[in-house]
Copies of this chain bind each other. A is one copy, B any other.
Amino acid sequence: MKKYQGISYKNVHITDGFWKNRQTINAEVTSHAVYNRFADSHRFEALDCSWKEGMNYTPHIFWDSDVAKWIEGAAYIIAKNHDTQLEQLCENAIDMIVENQTKEGYFNSYFLVMRQSERFKHRGYHELYCAGHLIEAACAYYEATGKDKFLRAMCKYADYIYDTFYVYQTASFTTCGHPEIELALVKLYDTVGDEKYLQLSKFFLDKHGNNTKDTYTNKYHAQDQLPLTEQHTAEGHCVRAMYLYSAMADIARHYDSDAYLEACRAIYDDAVNKKMYITGGIGSTKMGEAFATDYFLPNDVAYTETCAAISLTMFCKRMQLLSADSRFADTVERVIYNGFLSGVSLDGKSFFYENPLEIDPYFANVNTASEQKRHMPIMQRVELFSCSCCPPNVLRFIASIEELMYTYDEHTLFVHQFMNSEAAIQQSVIRQTTDYPADGSLKITVEGTDFAQIAVRIPGWCTGFTADKPYTLENGYAYFAAEGEINLNFDMKVQLYEANAAVQNNAGCVAVARGPVVYCLEEADNGKHLRSLGISSQAAFSLEENDGYKVPVLLTQGLRKKEQEGLYRVYSRECEQVTLRFIPYFAFANRGVSEMLVWTRVMD
């Protein structure tokens, strides 16, 4: 099995540009904003395990995971910024966890106070999911600070899980209802090297759809519809699915399992070719927060959870370690500039759980005689959700986004993502100088002799590029000799995209994109009734710099259907010329409640 090495976020320093801006906001604003909302909502306090009936909060089954993801994100920031204030906040939380850990190694702030006697009895109560996030956080904190107190505690917890689930099998279930432990155990193995963790991860994977102990309300929700190696389509709760698929890719790599690898490849193809929004959003329906029928991609009720977008990159990142095929990095790029980034406000303080591709505030609360309401995504980001998994996921993701940039083997360094940065990989130093994605020019310099060649991804959206060095193209990468300086230029012309005819709700419409960035119309710029607007398929666009977005706004001449009185009338082609202003999709809903539309009508 062909394999590649990944890198640590610690190896790369993003120096300027789009992601530097985002990492700065993430470190300076988001880390504290999430901390404060978690503190307000007693999530840190709960770690103390001193909750009693009558107190002004009630611990929740997934709070540990929220805190763990925050620690993990904070750890990445600490490693780079040496932020002692953040470190102290982490230490306080870690102390509470370690102090309240049982002798056997168990820790769960919910079960320890609410269901002391019900430990490992409820498959659907996120116990191992929380454990997994604590393990990931402990690994991250150790890597960031070198302090191993948390890591040792979580190794002890992992040992206890190993005994309970693998050796003695005394738990009431075999696999957790919400995957996460599987990939966390691989990370723990990668950190400490103990093979039992890898073994336990594989055990969990092998048991999915393959044991008589576990029950489920819905087999797809629990990923039990088939043994994982026989799954070839992306199904069920989207985040749960992708976390599990990520672990499958990990296990495929560590165990040279072609069966797991083939399943991963098939699942990837299914997800990306039939179930993904153009923004990289996945999980189109709130019903089960799940993948739905192929091509079911409604825009206004798109669920497309921010965590699902992140989880898709997690899966792609692992697939990059098993293949030199650019489509994984293409998908990562689609996600990070669109359906992931829309999940956080430009100021870094507030978040979307759902990332729809169309908003019409007028219809957001359809009024009827019924007490029932249609479920519609919220229209403005908020600072905290009761199920607040997304905010700390954003924090840890942006803080470690460098890990998506490179992979390598003994000959070749693969450049997947383009950010103004300096990286130290093996004994080599790689510099990228670029204003990507605002601009398509990219200079890459390599110092050092580790790699014979450098393979630069030619983005899937790119219909033309130039390079000043000879190259060969293979599976989406341009292979250059790794010496000196390479200058590339990706043609960043604005493109109009259409969807497969099976996505009937997008018929007659196009998505406007420039480079990897998908754009949208907002009422704030274009008035109401955005579906009354149309662009020509031959539209010429002008660019307007925007320092807030770090990519340009797009302007073009379009048409607005003449407004009419009454409900129905004989069709008239009467239109007025208007200037359409497209902003990056990721920036929608930063100027108050407003109509928003990605799929814009073609009017010619």
Contact = CB atoms under 8 A, between A and B. Distances in A.
A469 interface: no
A570 B508 contact: no
A290 B218 contact: no
Contacts of A463: 570
A473 interface: no
A264 B564 CA distance: 25
A553 interface: no
A272 B567 contact: yes
A514 B5 CA distance: 67
A204 interface: no
Contact of A497 (B369, B508, B570): B570
A168 interface: no
A130 to B, nearest CB: 21
Nearest to A500: B567
Interface of A: 217-218, 220-221, 235-237, 272-274, 276, 278, 285, 287-293, 295-296, 360, 362-363, 365-374, 463, 495-505, 507-508, 510-511, 529-532, 534, 537, 561, 563-573, 601-604
A602 B565 CA distance: 20
Nearest to A510: B571
Count of identical protomers in the assembly: 2
Given A287-B368, A293-B367, 4 more contacts: A500-B564, A500-B566, A508-B508, A508-B534
B570 A292 contact: no
9 contacts: A274-B567, A288-B368, A295-B362, A296-B363, A497-B570, A500-B564, A502-B529, A504-B532, A604-B604
A566 B374 CA distance: 31
A363 B564 CA distance: 32
B537 A568 contact: no
B287 A373 contact: yes
Nearest to A460: B568
Contacts of A221: 369-370
B369 A567 contact: no
A236 B369 CA distance: 4
A508 B505 CA distance: 12
Contacts of A570: 463, 495-498
Nearest to A533: B507
Contacts of A370: 218, 221, 285, 287-288, 290
A294 to B, nearest CB: 9
Nearest to A221: B369
Contacts of A497: 568-571
Contact of A568 (B365, B368, B500): B500
Contacts of A369: 218, 220-221, 235-237, 287-291
Contacts of A566: 273, 500
B561 A501 contact: yes
A362 B502 contact: yes
Nearest to A334: B568
Contact of A498 (B373, B504, B568): B568
A115 to B, nearest CB: 25
Contacts of A220: 368-369
A603 B369 CA distance: 38
Contact of A287 (B362, B372, B537, B569): B372
Contacts of A285: 366, 368, 370, 374
Q: Which of A236, A237, A289, A290 has the most CB of B within 10 A?
A: A290
Q: Which of A287, A373, A504 has the most CB of B within 10 A?
A: A504
A288 B368 CA distance: 7
Nearest to A285: B368
B567 A537 contact: no
